[in-house]
Amino acid sequence: MEDLRNKDKSIIYIMNYVMEIFGENYFTLIDAWDASRIAIGFTRKDKLIYISTNKHWHLSPNNVKCYAEFEIIDEHTLMPVITTKCLENITKEELVVYIKEFMNGVFSLN
């Protein structure tokens, strides 16, 4: 598990919510954005979900919204091959719906 001590409580809240829905072992948690206190990523095989609470970190946990990118990545380098979707101002509940669609291959390319 990544060292998350420097992360903002808003991104920790979103991360915990996602892990509660999918289980702690479904994704690999990555923090390739060490300098950002409000960003985190989840990977599974060739898929990466980047999440940031960019403009919403100051809201109460139940009102936090996030930005999310859904990417197909090279599994060895974790570098993006293609971004399939970018979403702004989505709730944690909406995020989970989009994650389920992404993991099930429902997304079409933008």
Domain-by-domain residue ranges, the chain?
9-103
DSSP letter string over 10-37?
HHHHHHHHHHHHH-TTTSEEE---TT-T
C-alpha closest to that of 66 among 53, 55, 75, 79: 53
Q: Give whichever of 1-5, 10-14, 53-57, 67-71 has the largest mean pLDDT.
A: 67-71
Q: Sort strands 65-73 and 39-44 into parallel, antiparallel or unpaired.
A: unpaired
The rounded mean pLDDT for the chain is 89
pLDDT greater than 80 at residue 110: no
pLDDT digits 0-9 by tens, 60-107: 777 889 999 999 999 899 899 999 999 999 999 999 999 999 999 876
CA distances from 26 to 17, 29, 50, 55, 64 (A): 13, 10, 15, 28, 23
In the block, which residue shows the tokens 């598990």? 1
pTM: 0.88
